[in-house]
């Protein structure tokens, strides 16, 4: 890879730690340009969006009339999915199947938040518990592979479980808390590779796995994206994009109405994700995911660039407790701290060092975008 001089965007806080970033003559990055040119003109979190959403909600209700559930929603306990559930039930009057994937790393806060929501809304919770022996070995395989995207075992289990339940209960609509407001800047592909590339996943398991994956839920993109979405017509709806969504206000509402408790950072509902995003990724790979999160908030007017830069001066992890966190992760994975530190210092690898279907995935994304089925750009 060519080395380039350090540069940070003049509009947001994305910088050259995202190695494929491009800047225009004014020093504005391609994330920001893409947001202003392609996302903002098509984003209507106002009356127009409200009307469009109303039509979608009525359709979901109508299609779900004789079913046990009219939609499905995965609850991580994080802000977006928690708020999404509140809105779906309290405001829209929908009847979601609510599921949670327990991969063994739930923080106590997440468990608390999931339960206060489900209890107060009077819903059943479908919990998919992943075999810890398999999960542990699967996660270790990613550490051994030396790649940055070690969160795939958690991410993939979530996606596979989502489609498994949707298929099993014949549910036609997936409610997704994903949103432009807090996620308009995308994570760079080099650090967050596709979690559904089964060729890639199988290659990592074949090389580094030690335990047979008997019960872990796998789902190939061919099955869930093409078969379930385009043949069985299961639709993904992102209601938060049709209305104003301000993170701080959502947190306040959840705290007041449910006794929900906030996290110090996005994705901290999983202890593993917290470790990975606050420590492993910035310290081993030099990429801090807060740049993506803060940049999204800056572009949508929820944070100033100055505040973001100030917060980025300090690490995302707490230096006084990080040694305990490292111990926790090692102990949980049943390896020594030395072994974990060995993975930390070993040569860096990326998805391109292993079998992958990036070209096919990118080509597929281009086709879906060209025929108007997908809007988002991932690079
Ligand atoms: Zn930018």
HEC profile for 39-81?
Answer: HHHHCCCCHHHHHHHHHHHHHHHHHCCCCCCCEEEECCCCHHH
Count of CB atoms situated within 10 Å of the CB of 348: 12
CA 298, CA 58: separation in Å to the nearest integer?
34
Residue 131: its H or E element:
none
CA 115, CA 97: separation in Å to the nearest integer?
15
Cα 111 to averaged position of ligand 1 atoms, centre (Å): 35
DSSP 106: B
Cα 31 to averaged position of ligand 1 atoms, centre (Å): 5
Cα 378 to averaged position of ligand 1 atoms, centre (Å): 15
Count of CB atoms situated within 10 Å of the CB of 276: 24
C-alpha 67: how far from chain center: 29
Cα 285 to averaged position of ligand 1 atoms, centre (Å): 20
Cα 185 to averaged position of ligand 1 atoms, centre (Å): 9
Q: Which stretches in the chain have pLDDT values below 70?
A: 1-3, 372-379
pTM for the model: 0.91
Cα 176 to averaged position of ligand 1 atoms, centre (Å): 26
CA 265, CA 358: separation in Å to the nearest integer?
30
Cα 15 to averaged position of ligand 1 atoms, centre (Å): 8
> N- to C-terminal Cα distance for the chain?
17
Cα 28 to averaged position of ligand 1 atoms, centre (Å): 5
């Amino acid at each position: 890879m060519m080395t380039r001089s350090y540069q940070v965007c003049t509009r947001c806080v994305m910088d050259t730690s995202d190695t494929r970033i491009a800047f225009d003559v004014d020093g504005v990055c391609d994330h920001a340009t893409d947001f202003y040119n392609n996302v903002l003109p098509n984003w209507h979190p106002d009356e127009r969006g409200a009307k469009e959403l109303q039509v979608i909600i009525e359709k979901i209700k109508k299609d779900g009339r004789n079913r046990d559930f009219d939609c499905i929603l995965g609850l991580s306990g994080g802000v977006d999915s928690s708020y999404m559930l509140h809105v779906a039930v309290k405001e829209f009057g929908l009847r979601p199947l609510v599921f949670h994937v327990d991969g063994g790393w739930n923080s106590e806060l997440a468990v608390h938040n999931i339960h206060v929501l489900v209890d107060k809304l009077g819903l059943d919770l479908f919990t998919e518990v992943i075999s810890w022996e398999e999960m542990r070995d699967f996660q270790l395989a990613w550490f051994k592979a030396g790649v940055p995207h070690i969160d795939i075992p958690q991410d993939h289990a979530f996606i596979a479980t989502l489609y498994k339940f949707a298929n099993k209960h014949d549910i036609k609509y997936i409610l997704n808390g994903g949103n432009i407001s807090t996620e308009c800047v995308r994570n760079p592909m080099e650090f967050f590779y596709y979690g559904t590339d089964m060729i890639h996943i199988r290659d990592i398991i074949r090389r580094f796995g030690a335990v047979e994956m008997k019960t872990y839920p796998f789902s190939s993109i061919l099955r869930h994206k093409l078969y379930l979405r385009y043949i069985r017509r299961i639709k993904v709806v992102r209601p938060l994009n049709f209305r104003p969504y301000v993170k701080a206000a959502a947190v306040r509402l959840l705290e007041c109405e449910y006794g929900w408790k906030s996290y110090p950072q996005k994705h901290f509902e999983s202890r593993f994700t917290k470790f990975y995003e606050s420590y492993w990724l910035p310290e081993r790979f030099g990429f801090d995911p807060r740049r993506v999160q803060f940049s999204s908030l800056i572009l949508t007017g929820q944070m100033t660039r100055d505040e973001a830069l100030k917060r980025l001066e300090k690490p995302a992890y707490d230096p006084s407790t990080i040694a305990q966190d490292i111990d926790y992760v090692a102990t949980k994975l049943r390896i020594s701290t030395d072994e974990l530190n060995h993975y930390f210092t070993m040569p860096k690898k990326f998805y391109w060092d292993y079998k992958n279907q990036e070209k096919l995935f990118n080509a597929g994304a281009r086709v879906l975008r060209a025929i108007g089925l997908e809007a988002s750009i991932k690079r």
